[in-house]
Amino acid sequence: MDTRSTCPYCGVGCGVIIESQAGAITGVRGDPEHPANFGRLCSKGSTLHLTAAPVVLQTRRLLQPALRAERTAPMEASSWDAVNKQVAEKLAATIQAHGPDSVGFYISGQLLTEDYHAFNKLARALVGTNNIDSNSRLCMSSAVVGYKQSLGADAPPACYEDLDLADCVFITGANPAWAHPILFRRLEAVKAAKPAMKIIVVDPRRTESAEFADLHLQILPGTDVALCLGLLHACIWDGLLNQSFIDAHTAGFGELKALARDMTPAQAARICGISVTDLLQAARWFAASPATLSLYCQGLNQSSSGTAKNTALINLHLATGQIGRPGAGPLSLTGQPNAMGGREVGGMATLLPGHRDPNDALHRTEIASLWGVDDLPVKPGKTAVELFEAAARGEIKVLWIACTNPAQSLPDQALVRRALERCELVILQECFAGTATAAYADVILPAATWGEKEGSVTNSERRISRVRAAMAPPGEARPDWQIVRDVARLLEPVLRPGRPSLFGFETSEALWLEHREATRGRDLDICGLSYALLDSAGPQQWPYPEGAAQGLARLYEDGRFATPDGRARFIAKPYQACAEAVDARFPFGLTTSRLRDQWHGMSRSGLASRLFGHEAAPVLRMNPQDLPRRGLKDGDLVRIRSRRGEMAVALRGDAGISPAQADLAMHWGQEFISGRGAEGQALLGVNGLTQPIFCPDSKQPELKFTAVDIKRL
């Protein structure tokens, strides 16, 4: 039997056809009718069925609810009734004793839109806290704030078709050849058919994407804003601006021009560690090409100045008029399969449903009215790092974690683990057994996952696709929204006695319809869509209001932006170096990156053994020239030490890494690392090294750069 669904890995959002027999998933192939991939799948997508094999279901899945009386006691299998009662009673008691803000929810860009909506409603409408954030905070929050500051709305203005129509593609802070492979295959095909198309890659490493480019700007880590200001300076002085577009459609260029005046190409090239000639070439191709499309991801986002990096790039598009036309615009690549859907439902501390703002009283009133509650909480919620810092201080007593593994993926793991230990109750809603976070859980809620549940996701180009079940969840696992609903129903008599239930949902579609209503009249209006239409006509892009015949492929084609006056904003922010400087004690700049065949913390991709054929173990890559200077050689086991922790890995010389830099894939956590630190402490994986410093606007932490020392073990 064939079931159409969507790949659960990256934000490209490829359509898959799941093959099943007798209630078991037996294979997967690309959906030839899905407009994100037209039948293609990458190595991760094409091995999805292996992560649902019977042996995996039996050995690597959480199949039964479980709890333990105290942290040191073993986890004991239980029933849904018993764990739901325990969770609801502890939540109610904690809220009554310490207030709603003593509860926190840390959810995931891998949840479906319907799951996200259920969690958001539980946190805000029933518990009464804005303390709900998502691992999308680690992924896309700088892109969100960048779009809002510059264009007025969190809405990627371009689409995948623009890859076919662009004359210049500017890839910065991204390695789509590995991290978004199906889009990159499309780009390769376009380049083969249209050799005059220019591809510029900006990356501190010489990646496979950089190898493919016509021009690689191998900048020093974190210097993106200086580069964009230098490019803008070149555009100004070489007559490459689109002055009529600036005059008609933007505001604030004067301030930005004054800022760019001091960032001459020579100055920018010096800061970035590239040649002036290359910078000037990039400026000419970017500005003078008939249509320039930018693709960008974590290299811009995971930074202490992530929002400034995003707005600096969008400034370039606005100044050169490279936006709102076929083939032109800034298209952020979403890291997670449904980070976009989470933004749409407002499942983050800084958002409300339908792209609303929790700090806006009118927006709170609109959502309270839609949900049938008197009001929504006013106090700002804590974002990912703040949530765990508050837990470490003892302010968060109950933490409900769903579909994510913060004891591996958040920065500064020592702090995260202190936080988890200090919580009075850690609820882990998860499908996979044995994640690092499970060691800190008091209650396990086994969740259904890909291939087992119904719902929808939104990909990088605003396209909503259906996710469908090809088999029943194994054991006692349940869809995430259903788990949330059942606890909520037990809580309601305590927190809303005598009031009608807010959680009457019996299907994922009922949740989706409530979410849909929150988009009415907003920039992402999808009131013209339905499950039935998505099922009959296939995936659709938003906005898709009532009466529309189709969604919008690209935004702002009329030159009117989503700001109150319709003008896009130039954002004048100066270049700031990475938060942590290298010095004599920590002389190397460590970047983190993604491998072609793994995804995030490998809880799913690590189940397909063939995906380890590309890279079997963590490897630190350094420029070969640095090895003899440090008394190192290829293959040595080295200790990497940052101001927060240590990690031991094998070393590999790689000429694609600049001198004094090093790079480590982000996938490996503690469970893949053996040995102890110099003082006998546990080694906590890559994020034992990274820092919790975050961008002040987006609150996205600087996972991309850490100052380290490297010594042979």
Query: Which residues sit at the interface with ligand SF4, rule CB under 6 A?
Result: 7, 9-10, 12-14, 37, 41-42, 44-45, 180-182
Euclidean distance between CA atoms 45 and 20, whole angstroms:
16
CA distances (Å), origin 151, targets 237, 297, 317, 528: 25, 18, 11, 24
At its nearest, how many Å lie between ligand SF4 and the CB of residue 596?
Answer: 10
Tell me whether strands 76-77 and 66-67 are parallel, antiparallel or unpaired. antiparallel
Q: Which is nearer to ligand SF4, 181 or 329 (CB)?
A: 181
* Cα gap 20→6, rounded to integer Å: 15
- Cα–Cα distance measured from residue 585 to residue 707, given in angstroms and rounded to the nearest whole number: 9
340: left (phi over 0), alpha (psi -120 to 50) or beta: alpha
In this structure, which amino acid lies at residue 137? R
Classify 638 as helix, strand or coil: strand
Closer by beta carbon to ligand SF4, 41 or else 340: 41
CB of 16 to ligand SF4, least distance (A): 7
Cβ of residue 604: shortest distance to ligand SF4, in angstroms? Answer: 10
- Report which of 568, 548, 547, 545 is spatially closest to residue 556, judged by C-alpha positions: 568
For the CB of residue 41, give the shortest distance to ligand SF4 in the complex, in Å: 4
Query: Which residues are registered as beta bridge partners of 329?
Result: 293
Given the complex with ligand SF4, which of 349 and 602 has the nearer CB atom? Answer: 602
As to burial, measured by CB atoms within 10 angstroms (0-12 exposed, 13-18 middle, 19+ buried), residue 613 is exposed
Q: What is the spatial distance between Cα 592 and Cα 664, in angstroms, rounded to a whole number?
A: 5
Q: 235: which 2 tokens?
A: 């555009």
Written in H, E and C, the secondary structure of 405-423 is CHHHHCCCHHHHHHHHHHC
- Least distance from ligand SF4 to the Cβ atom of residue 153, Å: 25
CA–CA separation, 235 and 288 (whole Å): 9
**What is the nearest approach in angstroms of ligand SF4 to the Cβ of residue 474?**
22
Tell me whether strands 425-430 and 443-446 are parallel, antiparallel or unpaired: parallel
Residue whose CB is less far from ligand SF4, 41 or 57: 41
Cβ closer to ligand SF4: 10 or 282? Answer: 10
> Which tokens sit at 78?
């239980």
Q: Would you say 180 or 639 has its CB closer to ligand SF4?
A: 180
The smaller minimum CB distance to ligand SF4, of residues 273 and 538, is found at 538
Residue nearest to ligand SF4 (CB): 45
Is the Cβ of residue 46 or residue 687 nearer to ligand SF4 in the bound state?
Answer: 46
11 vs 358, beta carbon nearer ligand SF4: 11
We find the least distance from the C-beta atom of residue 431 to ligand SF4, in angstroms, to be 17
How many CB atoms sit inside 10 A of residue 572's CB? 19
**What minimum distance in Å lies between the beta carbon of 581 and ligand SF4?**
35
Element (H, E) at 243: helix 243-249
The token duo for 673 is 């690392």
The distance of closest approach from Cβ of residue 9 to ligand SF4 in the complex, given in angstroms and rounded to an integer, is 3
Tokens representing 64?
């039964």
Task: Work out how close the CB of 184 gets to ligand SF4 at its nearest, in angstroms, rounded to a whole number.
Answer: 9
All residues at 6 or more sequence positions from 529 whose CB lies less than 8 Å from its CB, including other chains: 464, 516, 540, 542, 544
Cβ of residue 53: shortest distance to ligand SF4, in angstroms? 18
- Name which of 182 and 213 has its Cβ closer to ligand SF4: 182
Q: At what angle do helices 224-237 and 306-319 cross, to 10 degrees?
A: 20
Q: Which is nearer to ligand SF4, 39 or 273 (CB)?
A: 39
Shortest gap between Cβ of 44 and ligand SF4 (angstroms)? 4
Separation CA 416–CA 619 (nearest Å): 24
- Select 7 or 471, whichever has its Cβ closest to ligand SF4: 7
Smaller CB separation from ligand SF4, 466 or 641: 466
Say how far apart CA 577 and CA 422 lie, in whole Å: 34
Distance CA 93, CA 101 (A): 13
* CA 648 remoteness from chain centre: 27
Please give the order of strands across the beta sheet that includes 398-402. Answer: 76-77, 66-67, 443-446, 425-430, 398-402, 103-107, 132-134
Residue type, 147: Y
Q: Residue 10 or residue 111: which is nearer to ligand SF4 going by CB? A: 10
Instruction: Supply the Cα-derived Rg of the chain in whole angstroms.
Output: 24
Rounded distance, CA 621 to CA 199, Å?
25
**Rounded distance between C-alpha atoms, residue 452 and residue 414, angstroms:** 35
Closest CB 37 distance from ligand SF4, rounded Å: 6
- Select 12 or 145, whichever has its Cβ closest to ligand SF4: 12
Q: How many CB atoms lie within 10 A of CB 513?
A: 15
Q: Are 651 and 634 in contact (CB under 8 A)?
A: yes
Strands 132-134 and 103-107: parallel
* Six-digit token string for 266: 């020579």
Q: How far is the CB of 43 from ligand SF4 (least distance, A)?
A: 7
Backbone angles phi, psi at 30, to 5 degrees: -70, 145
Of 311 and 456, the one with the shorter C-beta distance to ligand SF4 is 456
Q: Say how far apart CA 542 and CA 254 lie, in whole Å.
A: 34
Q: Which two tokens stand for residue 48?
A: 């999805």
Residue with Cβ nearer ligand SF4 (112 or 367): 112
Smallest gap from Cβ 38 to ligand SF4, in A, equals: 11
Asked if residue 398 lies in contact with residue 90, where contact means CB atoms within 8 angstroms, the answer is: yes
